Structure 1
Amino acid sequence: MAVVVWIVEGTWPACVDAAGTHAPDGAEVVLLHVAPADVPGAAHGALAGLLGRGRPDPGERLEHLADASADALLAEAAARLGRPCTRDRRAGRAEREVVAAAEGADLLVVARDGDRSHLGPRSLGPASRFVVDHAPCPLLLVWPESAPSTSTLPPPPPPPPPHGP
């Protein structure tokens, strides 16, 4: 069994804990982190277009910082998991990279990352919504903390008007 766990700052502990609980012993667990590729690219462009030449490229510095941050996050996630796993560090559009990484997996673990004060579709941000809608494998969607009460559900729609005789 192959389990992909999407590691995102702020929500990753819940995903790792869920994988530890639901992935059977012997499962191949992949911890996946995706860094946005557009931030270093913008910094490279700023150097070329606005800041001029002859200065250190800020894009390279941002790439190194992003790599170090991802490595530290994946190391912390692996330590929390407490069992053998693979670390997969990617760059690009997170939602597309996660869907691509989940191809052929038996389970994808994702955390809610939107409005976590209410039950419902707004508890998913745009990237996680895309992943939920396009995942090529079964998906385990977890709350990063306790789920809100069912009292946060919106009221039911009004009954339809009665039809005439």
Structure 2
Amino acid sequence: MRVLLWIAPGTWPAVVDAARERPESDVITLIVADDPSDSVPTGALGGLIGRHRREPEPEVADLTADEGRALLEQAASALGRTCATRLVSGPTERVITAAAADADWLIVARDGDRAHLGPHSLGRHARFIIDHAPCTVQLIWPDSIPDLGTIPPPPR
């Protein structure tokens, strides 16, 4: 099976841990996105007219190509088995989704509010990838899983 791992700052160790559970026969590719649009200064998008774009998550923002390559090397070393690596440039959600077209299985970590259960645990990148990936998606918590008491109350 062809398995793609989305390697992102702050969440990649959990993705690599999940990949270690995969059979040795799987062909694993690690992918990092170098997204120029994520290096917009914090607060710069708030005053724009029209739909408000969420600010980049601090752990995901400002990933340069050199940092991306270093992250790939670190993740590949942590995986401890043969794998391919890819550094892609463009909007994170688009380039990861496009790369998933060549995979049978995609491992993604939640990239939003990881302190609470619910839809806000997915950031904009993961939400798009999960909604559009043309393969099976394994969604994991990068940290400990919040308890059921963190579920938002029902709407009134």
- Normalising by the smaller structure, the TM-score range is 0.7 to 0.9
Measured in 1, the distance between the counterparts of 2:102 and 2:139 equals 18
Residue of structure 2 equivalent to 1:35: 34
1:136 to 134, 137, 148: 134
Runs of 4+ more than 4 Å apart: none
Residue of structure 1 equivalent to 2:115: 117
1:80 to 67, 75, 78: 78
Does residue 4 of structure 1 match 2:39?
Answer: no
Measured in 1, the distance between the counterparts of 2:38 and 2:72 equals 20
Deviations 1:49-105 (A, max 9, x none): xxxxxxxxxxxxxxxx92221111101000110000000001100001011100031
Aligned residues: 134
- Shift in alpha-carbon separation, 1:32–1:155, aligned structure 2, 3 A: same
Q: Structure 1: 5+ residue runs without aligned partners? A: 43-64, 159-165
Deviation at 1:151, TM superposition (A): 1.3
For residue 102 of structure 2, give the secondary structure of its aligned residue in structure 1.
coil
Deviation at 1:156, TM superposition (A): 4.3
Measured in 2, the distance between the counterparts of 1:68 and 1:134 equals 28
- 1:150-165 map, 5 Å: 150-156=148-154
Measured in 1, the distance between the counterparts of 2:96 and 2:154 equals 35
Deviation at 1:137, TM superposition (A): 0.5
Measured in 2, the distance between the counterparts of 1:142 and 1:103 equals 20
RMSD over aligned Cα atoms: 1.9
Deviation at 1:157, TM superposition (A): 5.5
Which of the two has higher C-alpha Rg? 1
For residue 17 of structure 2, give the secondary structure of its aligned residue in structure 1.
helix
1:90 to 69, 88, 97: 88
For residue 103 of structure 1, give the secondary structure of its aligned residue in structure 2.
helix
- Give the aligned residue type for 1:26: S
Residue of structure 2 equivalent to 1:104: 102
Measured in 2, the distance between the counterparts of 1:39 and 1:152 equals 29
- Shift in alpha-carbon separation, 1:128–1:39, aligned structure 2, 3 A: closer
Residue of structure 1 equivalent to 2:48: none
Deviation at 1:154, TM superposition (A): 2.6
Measured in 2, the distance between the counterparts of 1:135 and 1:10 equals 22
Q: Structure 2: 5+ residue runs without aligned partners? A: 41-62
- Give the aligned residue type for 1:19: A
